[in-house]
Amino acid sequence: MKTITQFIFIILCLSDMIFTSCADGDFGANPYDPNTPITVSQLPKVLSFTPTEGKEGDVITITGVNFTTATNVAFGGKGASSFEIIDDATIEAVVSSYGGTGAVAVTNHKGTRSLEGFLFIKEIDPTENPNLALNGYATGSAAISGSISNINDDNDKSWWQAAGNDNEWVKIDLGKIYSINTVVMTWDMNAAGTDCDLMISEDDVNYTTIYSIKNWDAVSNDGINKVSFDNANARYVKLANMKNSATPYNMTLFEVEIYNTPPAENLALQKIASASSNNAAAFNAVYGNTSFMWQAEGNDDEWFKVDLGKIYTINNVVIQWDAGAYAADCEILISQDDVEYTSVYSITGWDSAATEGAQDMNFDNVDARYVKALLKNGATPWRMTIKEFEVYKQW
């Protein structure tokens, strides 16, 4: 009983101390002091924007706070072409031609703040073979400079530079499933991916490797790696396991293009052919059957010409030679009137052994009706013999 009485006494004492403290103002929050300074953030804050997608020239209305001193507006890391401050909570910004998908960012005198969720729509000019990557959403492994959105912005002066030079990756979401058959990568020649696996997927979960690149030489290809494969359905295109084994520099990628390239048409097929001499008729070389062939009278200073019938844009001539009776030196000339000719390609010392007689010659796009090959320096004693002379516009 004595113990209980002592406990009650202690409780009563504590209660008295608490009530006394409260009465003296020593308990709870301090009284409000009107002289206390209040700190308010002056950083901008993006709360929303509308519409959430846009193309070059579209006006995007951005709402937020602290916009009065705004100095820059960007879409996906790319500056707006112009913007107008409506009030402290509203900006109207115009999307530039190099806009990007990603965050809408506003910068003022205190710093930059952004909000994710903007989709940049790159307007694609009508064409027979559009670059499907242009409207895609790009992601990738960490970058040390540039931006991942640069790899499909149609600008080969912008870049994405990986944080390393081994086991890096980039991926483009095309937005929907397309049939594709060509991927073109434009690299910094001194910091290119020499190895990578080209993978595709319809759902971003199940991937299939459709092409593997090993020990690719960027210098001899001017940094452009064009990969062609059988048509495949894909929404997601990924360059995985990228590695630079040629130099110590971090991989730097300028552009990735994705196409559904249509089959090239042989514009010379069954057109009018003529030649410097005919041991076998010139028409045989445009007949479309390599069992027939044109054969010259000699093995030096010969020429072969085809009239395409009208002017076409061309960039490729393929000569299917008899591998034992070919010209080591060849020059391709083109003309629109069969009078004035221009040289577009020249090679000396060509050897048919590596290609089994197929001589594939590429050049910049030109408009031509007449295509002429000057053939010199027969590589063997046999008369020059062409199985098929083909002219293309390769995409």
Asked if 304 and 294 count as a contact pair (C-beta separation under 8 A), the reply is yes
* Sequence-distant (≥ 6) Cβ neighbours of residue 166 within 8 angstroms: 243, 244
What is the rounded distance in angstroms from the CA atom of residue 227 to the CA atom of residue 205? 23
What is the rounded distance in angstroms from the CA atom of residue 174 to the CA atom of residue 163? 25
Nearest by Cα to 102 from 27, 52, 164: 52
The pLDDT assigned to 123 comes to 66
Give the pair of three-digit tokens for residue 334: 């083109």
In three-state secondary structure terms, 101 is coil
C-alpha dihedral over 55, 156, 128, 218, to 10 degrees? -150
* Sequence-distant (≥ 6) Cβ neighbours of residue 130 within 8 angstroms: 124, 259
Residue 378 exposure: Cα atoms within 13 Å on the Cβ side: 19
Which domains are seen in the chain, by residue range? Answer: 45-120 (2.60.40.10), 137-259 (2.60.120.260), 272-392 (2.60.120.260)
The pLDDT assigned to 12 comes to 53
C-alpha dihedral over 120, 124, 129, 134, to 10 degrees? -20
The pLDDT assigned to 127 comes to 57
Q: Convert 262-283 to b/e letters by CB count within 10 Å (16 or more is b).
A: eeeebbbeebebebbeeebebb
* Beta strands at 111-120 and 53-54: parallel, antiparallel or unpaired: parallel
Q: Give the chain's radius of gyration (CA, Å).
A: 35
The pLDDT assigned to 138 comes to 94
Nearest by Cα to 76 from 148, 1, 15, 27: 148
What is the rounded distance in angstroms from the CA atom of residue 54 to the CA atom of residue 204? 25
Beta bridge partners of 149: none
- pLDDT per position in the chain (395 positions), as tens? 445 555 555 555 555 555 454 444 444 556 656 666 666 789 999 999 999 988 889 999 999 999 999 999 999 888 999 999 999 999 999 999 877 778 899 999 999 999 998 888 776 555 567 899 997 999 999 999 999 999 999 998 999 999 988 999 999 999 999 999 999 999 999 999 999 999 999 999 999 999 999 999 999 888 999 999 999 999 999 999 999 989 999 999 999 999 998 878 899 999 999 999 999 999 999 999 999 999 999 989 999 999 999 999 999 999 999 999 999 999 999 999 999 999 999 999 999 887 889 999 999 999 999 999 999 998 889 999 999 999 999 87
* Beta strands at 302-321 and 272-275: parallel, antiparallel or unpaired: antiparallel
Asked if 372 and 314 count as a contact pair (C-beta separation under 8 A), the reply is no
What are the C-alpha distances in Å from 389 to residues 213, 321, 328? Answer: 31, 9, 16
Nearest by Cα to 367 from 324, 323, 337: 337
Give the pair of three-digit tokens for residue 49: 């924007």
What are the C-alpha distances in Å from 346 to residues 317, 382, 388? Answer: 12, 22, 19
Side chain identity, residue 103: A
**Count of Cβ atoms closer than 10 Å to residue 100 Cβ:** 25
User: Edge-to-edge, what's the strand order for the sheet holding 82-87?
Assistant: 45-50, 59-65, 90-94, 82-87
* Sequence-distant (≥ 6) Cβ neighbours of residue 59 within 8 angstroms: 92, 93, 94, 95
Nearest by Cα to 242 from 158, 319, 171, 342: 171
